[in-house]
Chains A and B, each alone.
Chain A
Amino acid sequence: MRPPLFLVTLTLLIAGCSTQTPPMNEYILSSASLAPSFIESAAPYTLKMAPPKARPSLISKLFYYREGENKIGSYLYSQWVDAPAAMLDRLLYTSLQQNRLFSTTLSSGSNASGDLVLESMLHDFSHRIDRSGHSMGEIDITYTLIDTKTKKVIASKRFTASSPTPTVDAQGGVIALDHAATHIIEQCSAWLHLISKEPSWKK
């Protein structure tokens, strides 16, 4: 009895592997659309970016979409190359380094410590489709700036951005979220520039 049972099971497993699915498309946020800012002088501080945090469902490479107010699903054949929070973190790091907002900007993986730490918490990163068939790419994130010496919060702000999609599919969602991410990075850079010029928290 045993050899036939083993053979049947093996046949079924092989049959399962023989299932064909369309190829998976992977997407990444692009920094090509980030415009350089003209900062007259870099703030004399070292900024270190803390490891990004996100809502549990966003710690994934799945590409989520929302239909209406409550329905959430993920694309079957499209996904991100990395978790959205990590992609946004890299994008902001690139922007801050390019624009020299601070004398030095350290990534979350650096062993060095900075004068300031920037923490982030991603609340939403999805492709939203409303009942009328229009869709938007939406991002909701909170950034918190902390003084390393005193461990006190210097400032904290929540940023939201949305951008319409050219097409109601994964490709269009990626383009819209790319635009929204650019907008978020610009807002955050301007906010950090303003904070670094304020004398209230400086010694």
Chain B
Amino acid sequence: MESKVNYTAVGLFVILFTTALVAFGFWLGKYNGDTKDYRYYKLFITESVAGLSPEAAVKFRGVDVGKVETILINPNNSEEIELTLKIKKETPIKTDSYAILKFYGITGLAYIEIAGGTKESPLLVSDEHTVATIPSSPSLIKRLDESLSNVASKLSTTLDKADRLFNDRNVENVALTLEHLRSLSVQLDGYQNEVRTLIQQTIALENNATGSLNSIQDAADETKKSAANFNNVVTVKMGNTLDSLEKSSRETHALIQKIEQTVDRGDYDLRSVAAPTATEFNELIAQTKLLSNELEQSLNHLKNSPSDLLFKTSKPTPGPGEK
């Protein structure tokens, strides 16, 4: 049996296969002309991007919206990693959106998560001429790392302080204080009976005070009544007394007027009466002084020479120029 080759079918197959192969090659080479459907954004991260590779996914709130285009070390700042993200055009990247480095479970593979971005915020515009930069936020690992570092540092400080607090001396002091508290507690137990008695006495005192207050209130009522009676008596009696007083005042006024007239006349001017006498008296005293002085001198003379009284025997010393 002679096989008949259908060259037409073979040729058609070759053409179709070659066309498919070229199309696959274009698809594989990403010459699919989708550049118009994506926008490019820059992202600068200071932490390690281990596990993140080009073509890694970019997710917006968990939805795949693009991929990492390139990963470079920022030529202007060696502490930063510069990522170029290729994100679908319709993705609402806002000015307050930020990017976080996240990991798939325990595999160690990483992706970029775009979070944040409120509804009211304007879009972060990125076009062919200007590439916008999405702010980055520390990843969970970094935050955990920083938190753990802080916790460890604080724990270390706390332990140091605790070590100082619980030194031997303080422990002894605390033990001593507890011993004193125990002793105080024992003493307070002993005072329970006295405290009970004191409370009972206080209750009794309160009862007495209540009784006394009632008595005082009664007394106050009585005083109020007495005051009312006194007021009536005073009103009546004082009226008469004031009349008498007014009469006495008038008489006293007349008497004072008479005395004033007498005084004005100089009948009782003691100064004018006494002044001449005082002056005379002063002169008399001065003369008396003189006299008593001379008398004293004479007596002294007689005392020194008593015989002079009868015979004048002594010879007093004459003064200069006297014989």
- Interface residues in chain A, defined as those with a beta carbon under 8 Å from any beta carbon in chain B: 12-13, 15-16, 19, 51, 56, 59-63, 65, 67, 73-78, 83, 86, 108-111, 127, 129, 135, 167-172
Q: Please count how many residues in chain B sit with their CB below 8 Å of the partner chain's CB atoms.
A: 23
Q: Are A76 and B297 in contact (CB under 8 A)?
A: no
In the bound complex, CA of A168 to CA of B321 (Å): 7
Residues of B within 8 A of A19 (CB): 312
By the criterion CB–CB under 8 Å, are B320 and A135 in contact?
Answer: yes
B275 touches A16 (CB 8 A): no
The winner among B290, B308, B318, B321 for most chain A CB atoms within 10 A is: B321
Cα–Cα, bound, A108→B2 (Å):
191
Contact (Cβ within 8 A) A16 B322: no
Q: In the complex, which of the residues A61, A65, A83 contacts B319, with contact meaning CB atoms closer than 8 Å?
A: A65
A170 with B319: CB separation less than 8 A? yes
Which of chain B's residues have a CB closer than 8 A to the CB of A76?
316-319, 322
CB distance from A137 to the nearest CB of B (A): 13
**In the complex, given contacts A16-B312, A60-B294, A61-B290, what are 8 additional A-B residue pairs having Cβ atoms less than 8 angstroms apart?**
A13-B310, A59-B289, A60-B290, A65-B320, A75-B319, A169-B321, A170-B322, A172-B321
Give the residue of B297, B312, B320 whose beta carbon is less than 8 angstroms from that of A129: B320
The smallest beta-carbon distance between A56 and chain B, in angstroms, is: 7
Q: Are B276 and A12 in contact (CB under 8 A)?
A: no
Chain A residues positioned under 8 Å from B319 (CB to CB): 63, 65, 73-78, 169-170
**Residues of the B chain whose Cβ atoms lie less than 8 Å from the Cβ of A110:** 279
Nearest 5 A/B pairs, CB to CB: A169-B321, A75-B319, A19-B312, A111-B275, A16-B310
Residues of B within 8 A of A86 (CB): 286
Contacts of B275 in A (CB 8 A): 111
Residues of B in contact with A (beta carbons under 8 Å apart): 275-276, 279, 282-283, 286, 289-290, 293-294, 297, 308-312, 316-322
For residue A75, which residues in chain B have a CB less than 8 angstroms away from its CB? 318-319, 322
Cβ of A106 to closest chain B Cβ, rounded Å = 11
A114–chain B nearest beta-carbon distance, Å: 13
The answer to whether B320 and A111 have CB atoms under 8 Å apart is: no
CB distance from B161 to the nearest CB of A (A): 79
5 example contacts (A-B, Cβ-Cβ < 8 A) are as follows: A15-B310, A59-B290, A60-B294, A168-B321, A170-B322
Kindly state the separation between the CA atoms of A12 and B311 in the bound complex, as whole angstroms.
7
Cβ-closest chain B residue relative to A173: B320
Chain B residues whose CB sits within 8 angstroms of the CB of A129 once the complex forms = 320
Q: Which residues from A are CB-within-8-Å of B322?
A: 75-78, 169-170
How far is B320's CA from A167's CA once the two chains are assembled, in angstroms?
10
Residues of A within 8 A of B286 (CB): 51, 86
Shortest Cβ distance from A16 into B: residue = B310
Contact B321 A171 (CB under 8 A): yes
Contacts of A67 in B (CB 8 A): 320
Asked if residues A170 and B294 are in contact (CB atoms below 8 Å), the reply is no
Within the complex, the shortest CB–CB distance from B282 to chain A, in Å, comes to 6
Given known A59-B293, A60-B297, A76-B316, contact A167–B321 (CB-CB < 8 A): yes
Roughly how many angstroms separate A77 CA and B322 CA in the complex, as a whole number? 8
Contact of B276 with A111 in the complex, beta carbons under 8 Å? yes
Instruction: Give chain A residues whose Cβ lies under 8 Å from the Cβ of B276.
Output: 111
Q: Which residues of A contact B318 (CB under 8 A)?
A: 75-77
Nearest CB of chain A from residue B71's CB, rounded to whole Å: 106
A177 CA to B319 CA in the complex, in Å? 16
Say yes or no: A15 contacts B311, CB within 8 Å.
Answer: yes
Chain A residues in 8 Å Cβ range of B294: 60-61
A172 contact set on B, CB distance < 8 A:
321
CA A19 – CA B316 in complex, angstroms? 14
Which of A16, A73, A167 is within 8 Å of B311, CB to CB? A16
Alpha-carbon gap, A77 to B323, bound state (A): 10
User: A56 touching B312 by the CB < 8 A rule?
Assistant: no
Partner of B290, one of A63, A83, A169: A83
Nearest Cβ on chain A to B109's Cβ, whole angstroms: 111
B28 to chain A, nearest CB (A): 126
Q: In the complex, which residues of chain B have a beta carbon less than 8 angstroms from the beta carbon of A83?
A: 290
B136, chain A: closest CB distance, angstroms: 95
**In the docked arrangement, what's the CA distance between A93 and B290, Å?**
21
Q: In the complex, A162 Cα to B289 Cα: how many Å?
A: 27
Min Cβ gap B294→A in Å is 6
Complex: how many Å from CA A62 to CA B300?
A: 14
- Once the chains are docked, how many angstroms separate the CA of A108 from the CA of B280? 11
Q: CA separation between A127 and B297, bound complex, in Å?
A: 20
Asked if residues A168 and B310 are in contact (CB atoms below 8 Å), the reply is no
A121 CA to B292 CA in the complex, in Å? 20
Name the residue on B nearest A169 (C-beta).
B321
> Shortest Cβ distance from B292 into chain A, in angstroms?
9
User: A77–B279 Cα gap in the complex (Å)?
Assistant: 33
- Residues in chain B near residue A77, CB distance under 8 A: 318-319, 322
**Nearest residue, chain A, Cβ from B317:** A73
Chain B residues within 8 Å of A109, by CB: 279, 282-283
